Amino acid sequence: MKNNKIGAVLVIGGGIGGMQAALDLAEAGFKVYLLEKAPAIGGMMAKLDKTFPTNDCAMCTIAPRLTGVGGHPNIELLTYSELDSVEGEAGCFDVTIRKKARYVDESKCTGCGLCAQNCPVEAVDEYNFGLTSRAAVYLSYPQAVPRVFTINRERCLGCGICETVCGPRAINYTMQDEMRHLEVGAIVAAPGLELFDPGVQGEYGYGRYPNVLTSLEFERVLSPSGPYRGMVLRPFDGREPGRVAFIQCVGSRRADRNWCSAVCCMYATKQCLVAMEHVPGLQCTVFFIDFRAFGKGFDAYYERAQQAGVRYIRAMPSSIKEAPGSHNLEIQYAPPGDGNPVGEEFDLVVLSCGLQSTSAARDLAGKLGIELTPDGFCRTTITPLNTSREGIYVCGPFAEPKDIPETVIQASGAAAKAMTLLADVRGTLVAPKVYPPEIDVSGQPPRVGVFVCHCGTNIAGVVDVAAVTDYARALPDVVYADRNLFTCSTDSQARIRAAIEEHGLNRVVVASCTPRTHEPLFQNCIREAGLNFYLFELANIRDQCSWVHRDHPQAATEKAKDLVRMAVAKARLIEPLQRKSLEFNHDALVIGGGLSGMTAALELADQGFTVSLVERESELGGNMRRLHFLLEHIDPQGLLQSLIGRTQNHPNIHTFLNAEIAAVEGSVGKFTTTVRSKKCEVQSGADLNFPLSTLALSGAEGSHFTLHHGVVIVATGAQPYQPTEYLYGQDDRVLTQMEFEEQLATSHSELRTLNSVVMIQCVGSRIPERPYCSRLCCSQAVKNALQIKKISPATEVYVLYRDIRTYGLLEKYYRQAREAGVMFLRFEDDQPPIVGATLAVAPGSVACDGQGQALPLQVTVHDAMLGAEVMLEADRVVLSVATVPRPDAGELAQLLKVPRTQDGFFQEAHMKLRPVDFASEGIFLCGMAHYPKKAFSESVTQAAAAAGRAATVLAKRVIEIEPTISHVIEEKCDGCAYCVDPCPFKAITLIEYQTDSGQTKKRVVIDETACKGCGTCQATCPKGAVFVWHFKLDQLRAMTMAALGK
Amino acid sequence: MPGTDIQKRLATAKQVISDPRLRTLSGKRKMLIEDGNVYGARISEHEFDRFLDKAYADEVIRKVILAALREASLSIEALSERTGARPAVLFKHLLVLQQKGWVEVARIEQHVPLYRSTEAE
């Protein structure tokens, strides 16, 4: 590798994966070039209506990312551009980019849209898959970033009308493709996915029958910005359907396309739920093979859909026929258990098409010089983030079909890999964001602008937005009010900035979604117009109004007016505030020394950060110590030993074994953690400031020591459920998969004597007490079934299951297992198998025949496919047990003040877009503490992602403190200390001080880094001596009075 | 009454030929066919006329739809009876008219959307 590394990274693909990688890298001090072949970034997610399993609006979720990327000073967007060639090597690539001619000058186009309004051509709207048309000069979608029009040269007549109407003279017909050379140190490939073309699979009539749609077309149908404006209609006659059928696995799980697309079961369920919201009384039917709800919260969502009336039929339709006249569709299928084919009529059919890598991505692989698998996905090394070429990393469905959070995780992981490669040139090519000078609003009377958001139909479908806007316009001090389809889109933000200037606004109220996701975006928007960040107020008329009062539109409109009135009342009193910068601690604490913890620690340590790794057990390795095989034919124990070796010998990692977290104080940049050593080598009471070598190493059981660090990564893992079912613990021949794997690794000769092994899935999973899917057990069973077949081909292996959930590329191993003779028998949820000894025997003993041979166990199962009872003899019964949270996870959650899910796993900040962050800044999450993970690859990926996210914090020189925190008015505080104990963040301390006259007095002081501005102190103070900036009592009083209509 | 019908059709034709977009485009005929378009390429007479014919035909049916919707809120089926156009075709035009903001869905009755002209208000 060359010494002259470049501190810049090329990210290829502007979808959610590419955007995440770009943002992480840019935040961590690298210059990023974000290459996108389409005219705008956003990728597939920008086409989606809502997302499972929360039903959050995809556009609302992605909009802050779009504008974040578009406005980031360290990210340069190269849209409508393609990679031409790559030379050089890791650390220093020479890249050539072809910037295609848009025929519209990016620097001049204001996105006003006059060109499209006057264009005489009506061309296919590719964004809406041809369900409607658009002009030859177009913007891909309303919220497009950058908001620059593009001429579709193939459809353009060349009449020249657009040039004549373009005010800023942005149209340029002489534009040519341009080549651009870049130097980058690393490349992240995130070219995304496409859907299988169902026209190839003729039996479903796609392309012939107008009322057969692909799932992506239907997604656009459901979208408020889609061709039908969110109304569910049939393309043939524009009528609302009454019966919609969804057919799963179209283009997936076939011999020639040997993978599961991993998202279709869930997206079909989501589409059913959303469509049923749009069309009351709609009947939705899903035809499927196995229902693969393997992710966090997925099974609960599936359950919800069933309760809402979605009909799931476990059968694959053989054909679809169109009824002449009505153009309804008759689906032929064989219902389960019966087998006799039946026909059923539907008004609309949606084909749940599988995912595949795009042809453009396969071309890209050639140019990048990276290898593909025979299925056309990107081949990765042992680490699922590395491609076959050093310095080029991969994320998203290009590597394997996956959903949004998995893509985001992999993107942060790929970014982390690039950060590690380029750690020593971090910060060499970046510049801070420059804002215009701040407008001094002191002494000015309030001039409030109110912007009411339609949020597509999310708000406008329930609330009368026009009425709310008119109402806002008449409120005191409101000088301007407007409404937008999506207030968060680039053009709407431009309108807000223009209104600030034109109307001299000095306070801005946006009535829209939630400050949780959108406040920073709007604050940034008004700051760009010169207003202080904090002269902004958000009225939540979506989450707290339109979503919860869907059935009461009139009352919701009145409530929205109330909320706007309250926000305006407060806005009239808000003041400019300044953010503070503080020095902070750049070390990390990783809790948990399993695969995830070690990987995260190494990734950070390789980037030059000092890491403390705390492990409760006496050795590193966690669950991986019991892993002997991987489906990918990698030796896990060899990997583990090298990981442990690297961790223990790394100069930047300090490992503490037999140690547990006793207390955590402080906040991002300034954590202090007390570690309790069970048998530790560090002197009790030691306050560890690195380098450690200066410390005496000794110690006794129960001693404590203290660590100082800037971030925390939680990697505490999970554990297998201890079963009580199926004679486990009573008969030695009943064992868990992990125990069986141990035998597979050690006792070959004994295993060869086995006639029959029966595996039982979902032991302890997907039951009322533990309603989630444990995700890894299906592939674990397949792995061990293949292993025993390898050792002893004559042994009969049965897997008793409810759904086989070998998602993504795991599907091929499921097929391999069937081909190897493993028998898969499905049982219904309410008819679990019964395991019995052949004869009644005492617990712990084994029934024998006359010759002293052990009699096999007997397993009875009602085979749902055959519709009959099957009796199996088993020499071993292997239980695929649930993965459950650590029993002390709750304790750690309390110490860190982070939430957990109902199932007991740690709860990330946002299910889709922040899957490795906690809501509390500076705390990150990875591995099975988050949710069960596929052996090795998923844990490694998320661990790298957590390290990458942590590095975005640690790489900064200073940390910015939010000013919306508590403040003590010294002269009013008499030191009563009522506020000290109730503070949930331990941010308040009582101090003694000398007055000028020499008196000793008491008062409280606030730790600005620990305070979260919750306001508890303000509520407890009897003297009015403590307040929270931006939430002062007069501001809250004004809101309250406004709520009361006074 | 046939007389009113003819009058209506004539009014529609007048509207269509006075559409500024189509007039501008018609005015470009000579340039596009003889001199070459903005990219310097010439369009064949056949190609241009086919394009223009379709544009006029589309505009005619849209104006007919708009005229009908100004009088009453109608379903696609009812529009199909009045215009003789196929439902799928009408649906496409209604989508375009909705995009342009000239038409909106008034209400849905028994799964059937009824459209109205926004000028009707």
8 Å CB contact of A235 and B32:
no
Mark which residues 85-114 of A lie under 8 Å from B by CB.
Answer: none
pLDDT along chain A (1046 residues), means of 10: 84 98 98 98 95 90 90 95 97 98 92 88 88 92 90 94 90 97 98 93 90 97 91 94 98 95 98 95 97 96 97 95 94 86 97 95 96 96 95 97 97 98 96 91 96 89 95 97 88 93 97 87 95 97 91 95 97 95 94 98 98 95 95 92 96 93 92 82 54 39 84 98 96 96 92 95 96 97 97 96 97 97 96 81 53 81 92 96 97 96 96 94 96 94 98 93 93 94 91 89 90 92 95 95 89
Answer for the pair A157, A120: CB distance below 8 angstroms, yes or no: yes
Is A8 exposed, middle or buried (CB count within 10 Å of its CB: 0-12, 13-18, 19+)? Answer: buried
Q: Report the residue of A177, A233, A283, A485 to disrupt the B interface, i.e. the one with the largest count of B CBs within 10 Å.
A: A233
**Per-residue model confidence as pLDDT tens digits over A601-657:** 999 999 999 999 999 999 999 999 999 999 988 899 999 999 999 999 999 999 999
DSSP conformational letter for A103? S
Q: Which residues of A touch B32 (CB under 8 A)?
A: 157-159
Q: Which pLDDT does position A713 carry in this prediction? A: 98
Predicted pLDDT at A661? 95
Under 8 Å between Cβ of A53 and A4: no
Instruction: Judge: A238–B94 Cβ closer than 8 Å, yes or no.
Output: yes
Task: Give the pLDDT confidence score for residue A3 in this predicted structure.
Answer: 64
d(CA A65, CA A78): 16
Select from A152, A239, A327 the residue whose CB has the most chain B CBs within 10 Å, as the one to mutate to test that interface.
A239
Tell me whether A231 touches chain B (CB under 8 Å).
yes
CB contact under 8 A, B32 and A242: no
CB B88 within 8 A of CB B76: no
Closest CA to A9 of A97, A93, A73, A100: A93
Interchain CB distance below 8 Å, A132 and B28: no
Chain B residues in contact with A158 by the CB 8 A cut-off are 32, 37-39, 41, 43
Nearest Cα of chain A lies from the Cα of B107 at a distance, in angstroms, of 11
Residue type, A382: I
Is B99 an interface residue toward A (CB < 8 Å)? yes
Confirm or reject contact between B114 and chain A (CB < 8 A).
no
DSSP type of residue A108: T
Q: Cβ of A238 and B51 within 8 Å?
A: no
Asked if A237 and B92 come within 8 Å (Cβ–Cβ), the reply is: no
Q: For residue A132, which residues of chain B lie inside 8 Å, CB to CB?
A: 92, 95-96, 99
- On whether any CB of chain A is under 8 Å from the CB of B30, the answer is no
A83 backbone dihedrals φ, ψ, rounded to 5°: -75, 135
Q: Is A105 helix (H, G, I), strand (E, B) or coil?
A: coil
Q: Going by DSSP bridges, is the β-strand pair A186-189/A8-12 parallel, antiparallel, or unpaired?
A: parallel
| Phi and psi angles of residue B91, each rounded to the nearest 5 degrees, phi first | -60, -45
- DSSP secondary structure, A868-895, as one string: EEEEEEESEEEEEEPEEE-TTHHHHHHH
Q: Is the peptide bond before A691 cis (omega within 30 degrees of 0)?
A: yes
Q: What is the DSSP letter of A323?
A: P
CA dihedral (A598, A427, A2, A185) in degrees, to 10, reads 80
CA distance B3 to chain A (A): 31
Closest-CA distance of chain A to residue B84, Å: 14
Distance from CA of B88 to the nearest CA of A (A): 5
Query: Strands A834-836, A857-863: parallel, antiparallel or unpaired by DSSP?
Result: antiparallel
A353: CB partners within 8 A, 6+ apart = A195, A196, A197, A198, A214, A215, A216, A250, A251, A264
Give yes or no for a contact between A316 and A333, defined as CB atoms under 8 angstroms apart: yes
B33 interface with A at CB cutoff 8 Å? no
Strand order in the sheet with A756-763: A734-736, A876-881, A756-763, A796-801, A823-826
> Is ipTM > 0.90 here?
yes
Among B39, B51, B95, select the one facing A173 at the smallest CB separation: B39
Read off the pTM.
0.90
- HEC letters along A408-474: HHHHHHHHHHHHHHCHHHCCCCCCCCCCCCCCCCCCCCCCEEEEEECCCCCCCCCCCHHHHHHHHHC
| B 37-56: CB under 8 A from A | 37-39, 41, 43, 51, 55
Best interface-test mutation with A: which of B38, B74, B79, B89 has the largest number of A CBs within 10 A?
A: B38
User: Which residues in chain B have their CB less than 8 angstroms from residue A153's CB?
Assistant: 39
Tell me the chain A residues in contact with residue B77 when contact means C-beta distances shorter than 8 Å.
237
Determine whether the interchain pair A229/B98 forms a contact, defined as Cβ–Cβ distance below 8 Å.
yes
Give which of A580, A487, A578, A477 is closest to A533, Cα–Cα.
A578
Kind and range of the H or E run holding B23? helix B20-27
Q: Does A226 touch chain B (CB under 8 A)?
A: no
* Residue pLDDT, tens place only, A685-706: 555 655 443 333 334 456 788 9
A26, A74 Cβ separation under 8 angstroms: yes
Q: Of the candidates A607, A622, A623, A633, which has an alpha carbon nearest to the alpha carbon of residue A382? A: A633
Neighbours of A333 (CB within 10 A): 20
Distance CA A296, CA A768 (A): 16
Picking from B109, B37, B16, B106, the residue whose alpha carbon sits closest to that of residue B70 is: B106
Q: Which H or E run includes A311? A: strand A311-313
Q: Which of A649, A959, A778 is nearest to A260 (CA)?
A: A778
Per-residue model confidence (pLDDT) at position A202: 80
Contact at CB, A160 and B92, closer than 8 angstroms: no
Contact B1/A at CB under 8 A: no
Q: Shortest CA distance to A531 belongs to which of A554, A505, A502?
A: A505
DSSP states of A32-74: EEEE-SSSSB-TGGGG-SEETTTTEEHHHHHHHHHHHHHH-TT
Which domains are delineated in chain B? 2-117 (1.10.10.10)
| Chain A residues whose beta carbon lies within 8 Å of the beta carbon of residue B31 | 160
Note the pLDDT tens digit of each residue in A181-230: 999 999 999 999 999 999 877 889 999 999 999 999 999 999 988 999 88
- Pairs across A and B, CB distance < 8 A: 82
Calculate how close chain A gets to B93, using CA atoms only, in Å: 9
Q: Does residue A146 have a cis peptide bond before it, meaning omega lies within 30 degrees of 0?
A: yes
Q: What is the rounded distance in angstroms from the CA atom of residue A951 to the CA atom of residue A972?
A: 42
- Cα-based torsion angle of the residue sequence A630, A632, A635, A640 in order, rounded to the nearest 10 degrees: -70
Contact between chains at B99 and A132 (C-beta distance less than 8 A): yes
Tokens of residue A864, six digits: 């749902």
From B14's Cα to the closest Cα of chain A, the distance in A is: 19
Rounded Cα distance, A409 and A940, in Å: 10
Q: Name, in order, each residue with C-beta under 8 angstroms of A867's C-beta and a sequence gap of 6 or more.
A: A337, A338
Beta bridge partners of A879: A736, A760
Tens-level pLDDT at each residue, chain B (121 residues): 556 778 888 888 888 888 888 888 899 999 999 999 999 999 999 999 999 999 999 999 999 999 999 999 999 999 999 989 999 999 999 999 998 889 999 999 999 999 999 875 4
Could you tell me which residues are beta bridge partners of residue A910? A914
* Among the listed residues A892, A475, A524, the one whose alpha carbon sits nearest the alpha carbon of residue A675: A892
